[in-house]
């Protein structure tokens, strides 16, 4: 079911390679509540700094996004250019500047081609009547091999509503809110404080639980716009409708996050790293990320080498509390390590078969507490090096 009250547009402004959409617009026909999270990198792109400030007001009518140029590390010129792009677009839409958020993704350190931006704004706004969210999903891609879009439907007080989200990302992925952008729109009417809290919690369990290469971008942005066009009774915390909204929101975000990992630059494996029995959740996540980001572990996944030693070593240096004599490690349902000791040659052969699959789970049971966390990662391949070795050429 389409999301009510939103319009979309995308054009080719020649910001990146010819023949590809690269400038996009999301527009709410009525004022929308907004919740957003941004990169924790201390180096932040100009559009992030602008949108961070504007999102604090909690109202957003439009999002302008480009790919092919991050407008990061471009100094005062970059800030002026971002503000100019936003102002020109807001004027064309008849909006105050503050109701438009800006996002960019692409190469760091290059100033925006402003003549191309200016030329693209009029056709971008004119195209709102005929554009689709799929067009926007295509326009925000950089090294992505496919567009990422997820939709879920729910109801509040018997009134149906829809949540739709798009994302981009394949490399420079460990968001910490990677280069990652995500935009969600919903026609549900949601209480502002509840929307903000629910979105941030859902991001923590989705985009903050993935890694492709351990890099946190200068441009990471994830936001949701809720315009209430469904005309449902207000969704609030502590209600069945609120719980349902949270579940749907988390499902959309987690599905998008998994698609980012599956599209990891050059990736051939999608791996779920589960840590359980940790002292607490923080320890579990710390250990899971250490394993998920280990280059030796990721290359072993690529080589289909059941090298559990690299995994237990990564847990050991992660800084989490552990007793190596209690650790269990399994590949899917194959127990590789019991009480910190290899279970034998049969497990080696069975574990290798598991690693031949495109998707599998590594479970690490520390057996010292009740803390648990899951992180999603990919393998590290020759193609990842190739893609990133000539990214700017």
CATH number at residue 361: 3.10.20.340
Q: How much is the average pLDDT of 5-33?
A: 94
In this prediction, residue 260 carries a pLDDT of 86
**Residues 285 and 342 occupy one common structural domain:** yes
pTM: 0.88
**Residues 72 and 221 occupy one common structural domain:** yes
From 262, 280, 314, the end of a domain falls on: 262
| Total domains present in the chain | 2
Q: How much is the average pLDDT of 303-331?
A: 96
- The span from the CA of 156 to the CA of 233, in Å, is 6
**Residues 110 and 251 occupy one common structural domain:** yes
65, 15 in Cβ contact below 8 A?
Answer: no
134, 149 in Cβ contact below 8 A?
Answer: yes
In this prediction, residue 177 carries a pLDDT of 46
**Residues 202 and 331 occupy one common structural domain:** no
Q: How much is the average pLDDT of 312-326?
A: 96
Q: How much is the average pLDDT of 200-224?
A: 81
Phi, psi of 11 (to 5 degrees): -135, 165
**Residues 238 and 126 occupy one common structural domain:** yes
Q: How much is the average pLDDT of 50-69?
A: 96
Report whether 358 belongs to an annotated binding site. Answer: no
Compute the mean pLDDT over every residue in the chain, rounded to the nearest whole number: 92
Report whether 142 belongs to an annotated binding site. Answer: yes
Report whether 265 belongs to an annotated binding site. Answer: yes
Q: How much is the average pLDDT of 11-24?
A: 90
Told to judge if 268 belongs to the known catalytic residues of this protein, a careful annotator would answer no
**Residues 296 and 314 occupy one common structural domain:** yes
In this prediction, residue 214 carries a pLDDT of 57
Phi, psi of 170 (to 5 degrees): -150, -30
Does the pLDDT at position 380 exceed 50? yes
Q: How much is the average pLDDT of 100-115?
A: 93
**Residues 111 and 68 occupy one common structural domain:** yes
Report whether 393 belongs to an annotated binding site. Answer: yes
Any domain includes 1: no
The residues, ordered by sequence, that sit 6+ positions from 360 with a Cβ below 8 Å of its Cβ are 269, 271, 272, 331, 332, 354
Any domain includes 385: yes
Query: Running DSSP on this structure, what letter comes out for residue 2?
Result: P
Radius of gyration of the chain from its Cα atoms, rounded to whole angstroms: 22
- The span from the CA of 351 to the CA of 353, in Å, is 5
- The span from the CA of 176 to the CA of 388, in Å, is 21
Give percent of the chain above pLDDT 70: 94
**Residues 354 and 244 occupy one common structural domain:** no
Query: Running DSSP on this structure, what letter comes out for residue 273?
Result: E
- CA distances (Å), origin 319, targets 272, 282, 313, 315, 323: 21, 11, 11, 8, 12
Does the pLDDT at position 127 exceed 90? yes
> CATH number for the domain including 14?
3.60.70.12
**Residues 234 and 300 occupy one common structural domain:** no
Does the pLDDT at position 13 exceed 80? yes
From 262, 278, 305, the end of a domain falls on: 262
- The span from the CA of 373 to the CA of 160, in Å, is 33
From 262, 280, 309, the end of a domain falls on: 262
Q: How much is the average pLDDT of 71-92?
A: 96
Any domain includes 193: yes
Any domain includes 247: yes
**Residues 236 and 282 occupy one common structural domain:** no
**Lowest mean pLDDT segment, chosen from 9-18, 195-204, 224-233, 339-348:** 9-18
Any domain includes 332: yes
Q: How much is the average pLDDT of 382-390?
A: 73
Any domain includes 101: yes
Any domain includes 317: yes
Sheet holding 371-378, edge to edge: 341-342, 334-338, 328-331, 359-365, 270-278, 371-378
Does the pLDDT at position 336 exceed 70? yes
**Residues 246 and 307 occupy one common structural domain:** no
Range of the domain at 364: 270-389
Does the pLDDT at position 390 exceed 80? no
Does the pLDDT at position 276 exceed 60? yes
**Which candidate in 74, 89, 162, 179 is catalytic?**
179
- The span from the CA of 53 to the CA of 196, in Å, is 15
**Residues 222 and 274 occupy one common structural domain:** no
């Amino acid at each position: 079911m389409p999301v009510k009250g939103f319009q979309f547009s995308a054009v080719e402004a020649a910001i990146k390679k010819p023949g590809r959409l690269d400038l996009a617009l999301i527009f709410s026909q009525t004022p929308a509540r907004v919740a957003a999270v941004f990169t924790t990198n201390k180096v932040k792109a100009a559009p992030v700094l602008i949108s961070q400030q504007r999102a604090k007001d909690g109202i957003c009518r439009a999002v302008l996004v480009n790919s092919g140029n991050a407008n990061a590390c471009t100094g005062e010129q970059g800030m002026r250019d971002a503000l100019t792009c936003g102002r020109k677009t807001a004027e064309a839409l008849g909006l105050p500047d503050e109701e438009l958020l800006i996002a960019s993704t692409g190469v760091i350190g290059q100033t925006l081609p402003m003549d191309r931006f200016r030329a693209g704004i009029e056709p971008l706004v004119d195209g709102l009547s005929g554009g689709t969210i799929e067009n926007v999903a295509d326009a925000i891609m950089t090294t992505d091999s496919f567009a990422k879009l997820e939709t879920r439907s729910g109801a509040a007080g018997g009134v149906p509503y829809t949540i739709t989200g798009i994302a981009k990302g394949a490399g420079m992925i460990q968001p910490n809110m990677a280069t990652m952008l995500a935009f969600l729109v919903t026609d549900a009417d949601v209480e502002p404080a509840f929307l903000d809290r629910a979105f941030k919690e859902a991001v923590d369990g989705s985009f903050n639980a993935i890694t492709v290469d351990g890099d946190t971008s200068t441009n990471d942005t994830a936001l949701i716009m809720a315009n209430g066009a469904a005309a449902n009774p207000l969704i609030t915390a502590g209600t069945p409708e609120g719980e349902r909204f949270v579940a749907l929101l988390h499902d959309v975000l987690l599905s998008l996050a998994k698609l980012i990992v599956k599209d990891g630059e050059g990736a051939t494996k999608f791996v779920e790293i589960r840590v359980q029995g940790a002292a607490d959740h923080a320890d579990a996540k710390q250990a899971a990320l250490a394993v998920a980001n280990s280059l030796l572990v990721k290359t072993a996944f690529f080589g289909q080498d059941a090298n559990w030693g690299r995994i237990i070593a990564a847990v050991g240096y992660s800084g989490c509390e552990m007793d190596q004599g209690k650790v269990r490690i399994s590949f899917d349902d194959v127990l590789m390590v019991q009480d910190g000791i290899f279970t034998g040659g049969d497990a080696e052969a069975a574990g290798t078969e598991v690693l031949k699959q495109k998707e599998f789970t590594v479970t690490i049971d520390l057996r010292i507490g009740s803390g648990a966390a899951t992180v999603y990662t990919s393998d590290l391949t020759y193609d990842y090096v190739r893609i990133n070795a000539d990214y700017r050429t």
